Amino acid sequence: MKRILALSALLSFSAFAQDSSRLDMLVTTLGKMENPTVQASLLKGMKDSLSGLRGVAAPKGWDELAAKLAKSPDETVRARVQELSVIFGGGAAMDEMRAKLADSSAPVEARRQALDSLVAQKDAGALDSLLKISAEAGPLREPALRGLAGFSDPRIAPLVTGQFAKLDTAERRAALQTLLARIDGAKAFLAAVDAGTIAKGELTAPIARQLDGLKDSDISAWLAKKWGAVSAPNEDKQKLIAKFKEFTSPAAIARADANRGRAIFAQSCAVCHTMFGTGGHIGPELTGGYGDVDYLLNNILDPNALIGKDYQQTFVKTKDGQTVAGIVTQDTDSAITIKSLAGELITLQKTDVASTEISPLSMMPEGLITTMDEESVRDLFHYLAQKQQVPMLLMAGNANDFFSGSDFRNWRVSGAWKTAAGEASVSGGAKPVSIKSELLLGDGTLSFSLKVSGPGGAELVIDGERKSGRFIGTSLSAGGPSAMNIWTYRDDGTPESRVLPTSLGEGWKTVSIERAGEALKVRIDGVIVHESTTRTRLMPAIHFIGESAELRIKDLRVSVK
């Protein structure tokens, strides 16, 4: 135990990578250890201590140790050895990692480890795979998009801007960080905004601040003409605050839309701030319950009045043209680590750094709400006043978050649901299983196709909400050869059903729910089967029950008006 503690202490020193004797000692000790758990822990410590470094000389005895541990029965040990071999410049290890990344049939986690290792080494041989993965929906698209920031290649900007409309929120953040990492990417982003292929709303105040930090005359001229001043003169701040107070009275905010406000927060604020456990960890965590409008306006519109040292933005430019913006979390003789606006920790070797500039301005940009309309500001402030989390409204900017096709982010899941090739499926049982979206649909259309095999029944929520622990609203039930039914659950708990002139049968049925204002329409295979009025938004949910039965769902998507 004392030996392990001593070795752990060695791993904690920031100068670890520069002292080859420490590496040699660890390798020698690892060669004498047989406990896979201890081996994996020390190998991880070595990898973390060398994070972001390239061209590190292999310690004495590494080749022999790597050959031995490559045969370990522990998968984690084998993976750590391969990652370290890449850092130490092992050609065979690099080839194996490239092959694993390119193999679409390999386990996702194994490909993710290969991706992270190759990106950290800026391996040019991995670029084609990264471009291919970035162009396809899947769990690796976000890290692949983020990884492209480390490469300078004329194919990157056109691919990222061309894919942008298909990306979910997390993927868009990664894409933006990659585009803004280099001047050619930033110009491609602005050209896409001009062309309308990227929504102007993606150009938020934090993004404008990053663009301004590139110090490019063409980009600065674009911002001045189409965005405005990134930093307003001090004498204008009080006038601006007074203007906003005219339409943000407590009474006006109380009538606003907190669900829409959460969506606005996710786009404009959550990249830096966490609220109710969701968001970034760059700025201070927000607690909610902000009812003081003066406090909000002063802190949002004049964030530079008082700047904490921990919230000053740093721009690091590398010799190959990359710009990394964020907060410095560690600065050693050999490397600098930045927490970017995407929340990613990026470690750069000092030998790769061309310049470092600390901005005199707060990470909190001044223009955060000045480009919003009055309704959006009130909705945001109403959300900030909430004392507990509320559902998020689906809007044009986050519609791709509804269902990724590869996992159940933004869904509450019960039962062993699976996803593959954009399709969701589950086997039934004696107890109901379900998926429930955490996103609300207002005006727009929910559509999907479903199929039930075996004696099972599915029920889809169409409209309504839970009151006093009871569901009040409308649902559609379907399963097997029986006719489909529209069920209405009234306030007194009494259900009523209406039989539809169709059944699910053995094939696929396409269902769409269209909502416009208070008007609601349900179509099955294009035919209207239900029309009503509603005053509630839809939080989509599908329940399923049935022994030896299977439910399959495909083409699950929303379109937002």
pLDDT of 408 higher than 50? yes
What is the predicted pLDDT for the residue at 4? 47
pLDDT of 304 higher than 80? no
| CA torsion through residues 126, 132, 133, 134, sign | positive
| pLDDT digit string, tens, across residues 323-335 | 998 888 888 888 8
Q: Is 264 helix (H, G, I), strand (E, B) or coil?
A: helix
What is the predicted pLDDT for the residue at 1? 44
pLDDT of 544 higher than 80? yes
- The CA–CA distances, whole Å, from 232 to 211, 239, 248, 361, 449 equal 16, 11, 21, 12, 52
Q: Which domains are assigned to the chain?
A: 2-199 (1.25.10.10), 234-393 (2.30.30.100), 402-560 (2.60.120.560)
Residue 66, phi then psi, degrees to nearest 5: -60, -40
| Most confidently predicted of 48-62, 216-230, 483-497, 515-529 | 515-529
The residue among 272 and 446 whose pLDDT is bigger is: 446
Q: What's the CA gap between 503 and 8, in Å, rounded? A: 65
β 439-440/392-393 pair status: parallel
pLDDT of 5 higher than 50? no
Report residue 505 as tokens: 């049968």
The answer to whether the predicted template modeling score (pTM) of the entire model surpasses 0.75 is yes
H or E element that contains 263: helix 258-268
DSSP E strand stretches across 225-352: 274-275, 278-279, 312-318, 323-331, 335-340, 345-349
Share of the chain above pLDDT 70, in %: 94
pLDDT of 363 higher than 80? no
Query: Please, which pLDDT band fits residue 443 given cuts at 50, 70 and 90?
Result: very high
- Given a contact cutoff of 8 angstroms between Cβ atoms, the answer to whether 151 and 127 are in contact is yes
What is the predicted pLDDT for the residue at 2? 44
What is the predicted pLDDT for the residue at 449? 96
Q: What number is the average pLDDT over the span 296-322?
A: 80
